[in-house]
């Protein structure tokens, strides 16, 4: 009988500390393979293996393309690469970003679910927005277990809260209690894999293939969802709306993927960029109009000078309106919405931090 021995961990903002605390508490002889995605900028040097190696005797290293999977090992997704699992080895790829990140949590979780089914334990730790929720949903759909760090303990609680809202979670606990749960679950016999609807299985397989390749050419998610009214913030392609239970997310034909919160964050950022771009153009036109007015005044043509000065003054008024709109706009940012949402639920609000 197969054993439960695949642990996948996802974290983002505030998650580095949570990962260290969890790994430091694991027993040295844990008979499981552990895979970790921590969201980071592509230019960040991958120091997590060195840091974690000081906290545990379990071997820790960045995952390597086509490396065989071994038990009692910790594998870290390297910077700017997705980490994917196959039946007996790992893939390290440069596929399209998900929620603006590579590595991203959802591709790891999704591929683990597809390859290992009910042998998988998914763990969501501290982070902003709702990354990892879709991947954790896939783990549950394929019979795996879902564990979440207690939002009250998480430095940034939005990711755990999102998972709790939208996935049937098996345990919510602080790090100190998550570790004994993992130890208890690892090595347990698991029942045969649950039956997965062909449509759902094909969708998961297609998304894994997208993450595994440099391009999504020839692969489309249109058959698994509905075309939305939204454009991809990265490539401006039409986004397909994918619904899984109460979970809604989006993917474009080139492969970029977004949760609803990540899409909101992107659209909000584009609005701010547009406001400041319009403000810059208005300010530049006002300066040019004043310059032309000065030139006509110097040439003793007061009528023409007055016309340009009037136009410049009108532009200044429009600039002031745009400036006020740009200053008010941050109130609509997703971290502020997270705080309002968690306050209304009576849960500790997430810290105001973006991934």
* Catalytic residue status for 12: yes
How many whole angstroms separate alpha carbon 176 and alpha carbon 157? Answer: 17
Among 12, 126, 162, 259, the one annotated catalytic: 12
Token pair, residue 293, equals 């007015």
Identify whether 266 is a catalytic site residue.
Answer: no
Buried residues in 20-48 as b, exposed as e (16+ CB within 10 A): bbbbebbeeebebbbbbbbbbeeeeeeeb
Question: Torsion angle, CA of 60/66/72/76, rounded to 10 degrees?
Answer: 30
Whether residue 78 contacts residue 103, with contact meaning beta carbons closer than 8 Å, is answered with yes
Q: Is 131 marked active-site?
A: yes
Strand ranges inside the chain, DSSP E: 6-11, 33-38, 60-62, 73-76, 82-85, 90-93, 120-124, 145-149, 171-173, 226-231, 238-244, 247-252, 257-259
For tokens 């941050």, the residue is 330
Catalytic residue among 106, 131, 261, 315: 131
Backbone angles phi, psi at 164, to 5 degrees: -65, -40
Asked if 237 contacts 254 with a C-beta cutoff of 8 angstroms, the reply is yes
- Name the residues annotated as catalytic: 12, 39, 131
């Amino acid at each position: 009988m197969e054993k439960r021995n695949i642990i996948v961990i996802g974290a983002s903002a505030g998650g580095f500390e949570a990962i260290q605390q969890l790994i430091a508490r694991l027993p040295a002889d844990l008979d499981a393979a552990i895979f970790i995605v921590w969201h980071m900028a592509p230019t960040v040097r991958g120091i997590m293996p060195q840091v974690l190696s000081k906290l545990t005797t379990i071997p820790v290293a960045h995952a390597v393309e086509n490396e065989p999977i071994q038990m009692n090992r910790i594998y870290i997704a390297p910077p700017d690469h997705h980490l994917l699992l196959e039946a007996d080895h790992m893939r390290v790829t440069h596929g399209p970003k998900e929620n603006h990140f590579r590595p991203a949590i959802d591709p790891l979780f999704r591929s683990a679910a597809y390859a290992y089914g009910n042998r998988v334990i998914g763990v969501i730790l501290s982070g902003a927005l709702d990354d990892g929720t879709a991947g954790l949903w896939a783990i549950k759909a394929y019979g795996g277990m879902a564990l979440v760090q207690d939002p009250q303990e998480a430095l940034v609680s939005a990711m755990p809260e999102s998972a709790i809202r939208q996935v049937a979670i098996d345990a919510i606990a602080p790090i100190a209690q998550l570790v004994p749960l993992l130890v208890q679950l690892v090595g347990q016999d698991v029942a045969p894999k649950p039956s997965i609807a062909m449509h759902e299985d094909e969708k998961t397989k297609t998304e894994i293939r997208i993450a595994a390749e440099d391009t999504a050419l020839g692969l489309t998610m249109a058959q698994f969802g509905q075309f939305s009214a939204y454009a991809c913030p990265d490539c401006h392609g039409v986004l397909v709306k994918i619904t899984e239970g109460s979970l809604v997310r989006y993917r474009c034909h080139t492969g970029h993927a977004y949760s609803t919160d990540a899409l909101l964050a992107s659209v909000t950022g584009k609005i701010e960029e547009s406001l400041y771009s319009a403000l810059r153009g208005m300010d530049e036109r006002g300066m040019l109009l004043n310059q032309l007015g000065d030139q006509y005044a110097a040439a003793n043509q007061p009528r023409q000078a007055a016309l340009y000065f009037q136009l410049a003054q009108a532009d200044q008024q429009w600039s002031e309106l745009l400036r006020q709109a740009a200053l008010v706009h941050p109130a609509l940012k997703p971290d502020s919405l997270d705080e309002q949402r968690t306050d209304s639920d009576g849960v500790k609000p997430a810290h105001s931090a973006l991934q």
